[in-house]
Structure 1
């Protein structure tokens, strides 16, 4: 009977992912760049803002002209004009003068502050009372205060968020250099697997993993391509894997990685030139029979066949791997959404492995409480009901009711 190599800890397994690098670089339109990863630093060719800008509706003036102003002793200034938003003006403010401006509008030459409308009163079309002292540069943004010309606007490796796209639009960037989305081949394997449009016979199951894994690839920033169901035949499985390696940047095979007479993935990979098996077995439950191989610089991730095990393993290791190929740095690629929660009941475990227990969450008295959803690794309904995975450490022997632990949100 085949056995596992030396079983890896989760930390050791994650470390082996770091050898895989982003695949290519392309330029995309700004409107298509959301959640893409910058492949190089982006510099600003212009200052932002490009003109002194008011941040409020009010009056542009010289701050020193308002010193000592109060409700009982207002300063009197001469109104010498108004600058509508979006327009420029040749007005230059002299001592004792003010110009009406709008939020986002240009601040005229000579002014070094803007006083809000709420602290002013127009006595007539030419006379203004100011009831509050303005500080220099109050309520205005200077040229280049947001970003200077020649400054790095966004660094390489940034996963672009809506606010990042706003910054790029503000400095006139139409296209951005990003890492290409990794193409991920997804293969289901096993004689017992049938497509979802078929009625399974006794001993058969519909192909759950295709849809679970493909959707998680998409969530992680990759482009999944399903290559079909491979039967438990050496040549058939090898043909699918070789197709995936030719046409994609990463291959994911569900089933065929555990110990068993019909589990061929390991044998197939050993037969492919240039393949290096990095890990076969990881000390977690569910998901111990997990396989990682480097084939000519392309990763192949072998998942357990049971849907819950496959999804847990992909969440912990597949998602970070896709994100690394998409260009994210290690810290961002390996980060997971986590919270602290208290165990709603005693939860048993065994020292020597990390347990990931499906839990539902309830918020009570300012704390989260995690209630285990026990079920076999093939029970997909339990995972559909789960809010997260409660982690029990490799050196712990379970949790007692009320004890706090980490929950990875799904």
Structure 2
């Protein structure tokens, strides 16, 4: 069973993934940490301290106490078994001497805009997949479009390298790019030669380069499906490709079973979507210790207002307003509760968001300690002159709601 060879009509889709993005941005700021294990995920108290001799004193993972998690880590830290999503206390046992830095999302967003602008100068058809990754349609980019036969592969590689060079010139950062006929394979390919990799895979390379990989390398096969496949003796993508489509459908359902067969054979017709509207925006934080609504009222009130302020900033910066404002609470027993309030008109200003979120709090039993708090805006709409006029009037009328909160609203 050999995959078909590429033709002149083959699409060329790139997946670009910035290398250890947050950590790499921090290394631009602190070049003395290059080559060291560095973990990003600390708080304000983990800011480096400038010493009298001009050097910096950095926080170390071994001194961390709390329940925070790793946002990202440098490759030397990853070599020690540390990875994103891991609890910082657990990471401290594996890499106690690793440097711990606080997150700086404003700076990461700035570099995100820089690298995407650099890519757009070479190839404008971009699908934004987050702060550090994008898909790019290279099919009709000059240098690819005109090339034919084997020269076409050379043209694809040259354009991908030009993109990498442009990103580095604009940011000083490296990225890894996978280029294949579709998004599914490109997502896999971009991770095969990290960091600073460039991997080009054609349909004819599927059996040699993709099939030996574990099934979990396919984006869309999670832990549950992976465990079920393993129980059936299917561990590699090649094992999956050897299964009959109807056999997979019988065991995983008509839709997912058919998708598993297609994915293992490198079939993916999804286009690069250059624009999509977000469904919601949210901000949340996990506390380093459980907080009580009464005894820690001032702290919770401050954090709650800061989250609302960050959410308002996100909405305004991206040009959206939300009609549904919600909250998310996780208690010390890990029970999670959400509450939503739909407003007569959409909002994006801090006072209105804080007021609506406070109304949601009235509908929650706050007798247990809290470990997580979040706020969310849903039912999003693009800002228009009408909406902005409403927001301006609402903001003027309710500005006191933040600095001098309504006494009837709970502040924990």
TM-score (norm 2): 0.23
The structure whose residues are more often strand, as a share, is 1
The structure whose residues are more often helix, as a share, is 2
TM-score (norm 1): 0.23
Whichever of the two has the greater Rg, that structure is: 1
Higher relative contact order (CA 8 A, sep 6+): 1
